[in-house]
Structure 1
Amino acid sequence: MALVSTAQIIHLSEADPRISPDELIDGLVPPPQFEDVSFGSYRPDPAQPTQTQARDTLNDFVSSGGGSSRLLGRLFGGGRRSKAKGVYLDGGYGVGKTHLLASTWHASEKPATFGTFVEYTNLIGALGFVRARDELSQMRLVCIDEFELDDPGDTVMMSRLMRELTDAGVKIVATSNTLPGSLGQGRFAAQDFLREIQALSEQFTIVSIDGDDYRSRGLPEPPAPQTTEELDAVLAEATGTVARDRFDVAVEHLSTIHPSRYGRMLDQVDTIVWDEVRTIENEGVALRFVALVDRMYDRDVAVHASGVKLDDVFTDEMIAGGYRKKYLRCLSRLTALAHKARS
């Protein structure tokens, strides 16, 4: 007897979410996967002392109101008072930077905001620079995840925003895979914007975190692709909301939706099923896909897929290029979500 699915089946390729400017501001909070994290729930690798140092530095930073505490002095200045007005968390993917950033937000006095770099740039696009700055200037803390500068316009705009927010007394904590002085390298003529990049780096105390990707422990590669029959069986047994699409159609649809709205596309989605996954050949399409996977990971959405293995979704040239770290983080997150689906 065939199973009758109780799941609600939708298609991401038909989604067209809308978000008002006020919703953009109200939505700047940690995503569901990080809504209950804390410094206490962070599990540093005993073999990597910088992870413990980063946790303690951020804990001290937020509990002391963001001032240059004795701990910051010991770690980064031999007791001298730091002029930095924020903390910049630098490290590879999978070392817990977002966990620590969300923990900082939870421990901070409110109002405070938490969002990815693209969410802040979209806020500026939706509200205009002046209103966005004025709204963020009311915050005690602004947390920026996945800080990256992919074009000169973003460099100048974010440099100005950081300066004006810190001048207003706002504390800033940011995470990135790239040190401030190296932002933009391999993507645009960063040497033409050294003044803006240098001004940006001067806003932060840099805290580096070493370590391996925790998501890869015991999960070195994605599971094998599934057959169409296996995907049909997933739908038959699923509960909640399942988004099923042909992969190329879903990915092409992303070009019609601003990345800041990808999270809204995934509201209430528990599982994604992709038919006929293919290698993405266009870098613009690939970067939009990275942004989608980031929002999927935030929401802990399980992934089932047929076609090529998920670690073949990007070309070798992309993996070796200027966005290497973004693609590797994406593959790490995809692998974790695919194994979640099989568990």
Structure 2
Amino acid sequence: MTEALCDRRPDPSLERLLADLVPPPRFAQARLDNYVPDPAHPSQEEAKQRVTAFAAALGAPRGGFLAKLRRRKPEPARGIYLDGGFGVGKTHLLTSLFHAVEGERVYGTFVEYTDLVGALGFQRALDLLGESVLVCIDEFELDDPGDTLLMTRLIRELSDRGVAIVATSNTLPDALGEGRFAAQDFLREIQAMAERFEVLRIDGEDFRRRDGVAEIATLPEPEVERSGESMAAATLDEFDPLLRHLTTVHPSRYGAMIDEVSAAHVIGMHGLTHHHDALRFVVLVDRLYDREVPTLISLAGASAPGVLEDLFSAELLRSGYRKKYLRSLSRLASLTGDGGALLRPGAADAAS
């Protein structure tokens, strides 16, 4: 019987949480050498050069014995904040930096760090992360006041210990939280965090569109069902039950939920109008994308191939989460392209 994601309730151990603090499979081979800037957008080359210099500085000696004696405590470290639209290579640069630096370093998404703090407690997490040379934070988003206070404090105290921090986001650090909660109430904390970063703005077009991936392809529902039932290690879910299931699993565990899944199949897809459903689905798409899991979807009752339009309502796309939703649409288009490729002659057998 085909398994569904709805059947999975992951409860990763602390060891698993720590082991996951590395770049995801999609970016395992990302290096500064294979980051190819778009000549039409010079900021990409500038960001590459600045990240390269930052990596070299982290690897440079910090002075001799006398310098260590004079240094009573580490100087606050400056970090880099990679800001820009989706698909311009921010995550590629972040993972490349991780691979370029030697010594203890960690890499995770924003929600993975908040989950780690929840599992360990703030002080223990701080002490653990404080042993690192470099902390990489991908998808930096402050969606609620609690996360704002937690992450700004964590970054400030890690920086005070001399830990270099590099983050990616679609929002400038002093604008985090705008349109989502009363950011002005937390302006002091946000500004204190922002002062620790050098902001590198990266312009450009979504590379997935440059590669010809633009539309979220859908398939007839019977075809998606047949594929899900015949493919080894695949999952098959109905969209609405899947959305309900996502409310029962912490977003930081969505990665564990798709462990060893060869392809994800979802039938009955339709548009979303509420942030709580949409934001959880965005995180699931991000984890599917990171782990390179091909995805096949069908519209509710569809009997012919088509294109999924209006996954996020116009109201959602006007909100403070606009860039996050647009990134998800781009990534889902890429995943469904990979999913459609599985149905070409011989592809499903190879996947098995």
TM over 0.5: yes
Match runs of 1:61-100 below 5 Å: 61-65=54-58, 85-100=78-93
Match runs of 1:234-249 below 5 Å: 234-235=227-228, 238=231, 240-249=232-241
Partner of 2:147: 154
- Which string of whole-angstrom CA distances, capped at 9 and with x for unpartnered residues, describes residues 64-119 of structure 1? 1178xxxxxxxxxxxxxxx8611010010000111110001011112110000010
- 2:190 paired with 1:197: yes
The answer (yes or no) to whether the contact 1:112–1:141 under 8 Å persists in 2 is yes
Partner of 2:348: none
Q: SS of the counterpart of 1:113?
A: strand
Unpaired runs of at least 5, structure 2: 61-75, 301-306, 342-352
Partner of 1:339: 337
2:321 to 320, 323, 338: 323
Q: SS of the counterpart of 2:330?
A: helix
Q: SS of the counterpart of 1:205?
A: strand
Runs of 4+ residues over 6 Å off in structure 1: none
- The offset of 1:280, in angstroms, is 2.0
The answer (yes or no) to whether the contact 1:310–1:331 under 8 Å persists in 2 is no
Moved more, 217-226 or 288-297: 217-226
Unpaired runs of at least 5, structure 1: 1-7, 68-82
Match runs of 1:4-15 below 5 Å: 9-15=2-8
- The offset of 1:340, in angstroms, is 1.5
Write the distance in 2 (CA, Å) between the matches of 1:245 and 1:102: 32
- Give aligned pairs, total: 321
Match runs of 1:159-178 below 5 Å: 159-178=152-171
Match runs of 1:114-263 below 5 Å: 114-219=107-212, 221-235=214-228, 238=231, 240-263=232-255
Write the distance in 2 (CA, Å) between the matches of 1:302 and 1:166: 38
Partner of 2:258: 266
- Which string of whole-angstrom CA distances, capped at 9 and with x for unpartnered residues, describes residues 266-290 of structure 1? 1111211111102123211111111
Write the distance in 2 (CA, Å) between the matches of 1:211 and 1:324: 17
Letter in 2 for 1:234: S
Partner of 1:282: 274
- The offset of 1:140, in angstroms, is 0.7
Partner of 2:299: 307
- The offset of 1:237, in angstroms, is 5.9
Write the distance in 1 (CA, Å) between the matches of 2:293 and 2:321: 24
Letter in 2 for 1:203: R
Partner of 1:70: none
Partner of 1:73: none
CA 1:53–1:282: 2 relative to 1, 3 Å: same
Q: SS of the counterpart of 2:34?
A: coil
- 2:51 paired with 1:58: yes
Q: SS of the counterpart of 1:23?
A: helix
- The offset of 1:195, in angstroms, is 0.6
- Which string of whole-angstrom CA distances, capped at 9 and with x for unpartnered residues, describes residues 20-43 of structure 1? 223212210001111111001111
Write the distance in 2 (CA, Å) between the matches of 1:331 and 1:223: 7
- The offset of 1:220, in angstroms, is 5.5
Write the distance in 2 (CA, Å) between the matches of 1:228 and 1:278: 13
- Which string of whole-angstrom CA distances, capped at 9 and with x for unpartnered residues, describes residues 293-343 of structure 1? 100000111111111643422111101111111100000100011112223
TM-score by length of 2: 0.87
CA 1:254–1:223: 2 relative to 1, 3 Å: closer
TM-score by length of 1: 0.89
Moved more, 301-310 or 27-36: 301-310
The answer (yes or no) to whether the contact 1:143–1:172 under 8 Å persists in 2 is yes
- The offset of 1:259, in angstroms, is 0.5
- The offset of 1:217, in angstroms, is 2.0
The answer (yes or no) to whether the contact 2:77–2:162 under 8 Å persists in 1 is no
1:19 to 9, 12, 16: 12
The answer (yes or no) to whether the contact 2:217–2:333 under 8 Å persists in 1 is no
- The offset of 1:223, in angstroms, is 4.5
Write the distance in 2 (CA, Å) between the matches of 1:94 and 1:321: 20
Write the distance in 2 (CA, Å) between the matches of 1:217 and 1:119: 30
Write the distance in 2 (CA, Å) between the matches of 1:66 and 1:170: 13
CA 1:332–1:223: 2 relative to 1, 3 Å: closer
CA 1:19–1:237: 2 relative to 1, 3 Å: closer
The answer (yes or no) to whether the contact 1:219–1:336 under 8 Å persists in 2 is no
Q: SS of the counterpart of 1:36?
A: coil
RMSD: 1.8
- Which string of whole-angstrom CA distances, capped at 9 and with x for unpartnered residues, describes residues 237-262 of structure 1? 63x42110111111210000000100
The answer (yes or no) to whether the contact 2:218–2:336 under 8 Å persists in 1 is no
Write the distance in 2 (CA, Å) between the matches of 1:21 and 1:306: 37
